[in-house]
Amino acid sequence: MTLSIPDLTTVRARRPEAVAEAAARRARRPLIGDSGRLMIVAADHPARGALRVGDRALAMANRADLLERLCVALSRPGVDGVLATADVLEDLLLLGVLEHKVVMGSMNRGGLAGAAFEMDDRFTGHRAEDIARFRFDAGKLLLRIDYDDPGSLTTMESAARAVDAMAAHRLPVFVEPFLSRRVDGRVRNDLSAEAVTRSVAIASGLGGTSAYTWLKLPVTDDPDDMAEVLQTSTLPAVLLGGEVGDDQERTYEKWRTALRLPGVQGLVVGRSLLYPAGGSVETAVDTAVSLL
């Protein structure tokens, strides 16, 4: 049963089992397809309260609009799949747009954007057993470490246990590491080459095995430093697209340069493709795919 967006609430209210049924019959594919590259669209921001796009504070709050944008993105050639929390993935399942796509569950969304406890990235999203039960293909976790915050040790430990749990199910887990700090009360990620290098070293050593661990890495402030950063680990990596900003061409060139490096398997991009500063979702997605 494939639904339209207006049907979703009615089906959720009357036939909640439809979600599991859709997951059970979904046609799957290998994580890495014939192209040897991964292009994933990310939409796990709302569950962390991160709804802003540019100067629009609640841009991602309209669920029907977000789902329409995701459906367009997933329909474009070269897009391999989606990263999102359970609510979004289940809507997409019911809409029937996840056939032969890579489906990645977002695992820790407890570090709410702007909260006093933002650095306490607890696992409030998918568990390993949920990803396995719904026959999804991978998980993703965020690992932000503040050397001045003793609570970061708890975050590291919970991330390590999540790596272990995913490995027990033989499921890939994408670890997104940052060294972070508070500046004027706001969390800032350090994108210097040294900081990203240290974060890669820390993330690579999490858990009792790294056999199923991937890295999801930002491009450093100076993209020329990425080659040296990637020498820190033999784990496969995808690039975190991040915000495009005003100078789209410069951002695309940074991505293009980093994507040529050994070990980089693909790109994971969210708001900058779903809510492009200029042009359509189709154009933004097609441009990102062309970089691969």
Q: What is the pLDDT of residue 254?
A: 87
Query: CA dist 141 to 107, 126, 138, 176, 248, Å?
Result: 5, 10, 10, 6, 27
Domains identified in the chain, total number: 1
The whole domain housing 38 covers: 5-290
Q: What is the pLDDT of residue 214?
A: 98
CA angle 202, 165, 179 (to 5 degrees): 20
Query: CA dist 53 to 17, 115, 242, Å?
Result: 34, 18, 11
Residues in the chain predicted with pLDDT less than 70, given as ranges, are 1-2, 242-247
What's the CATH code of the domain at 246? 3.20.20.70
Q: What is the pLDDT of residue 241?
A: 82
Handedness of CA 210, 87, 180, 123 (dihedral sign): negative
Q: What is the pLDDT of residue 2?
A: 65
Q: What is the pLDDT of residue 246?
A: 63
Phi, psi of 109 (to 5 degrees): -125, 20
Residue with tokens 């990102």: 288
Q: Which residue type does 138 have?
A: A
- State how far the Cα of 138 lies from the Cα of 140, in Å rounded to an integer: 7
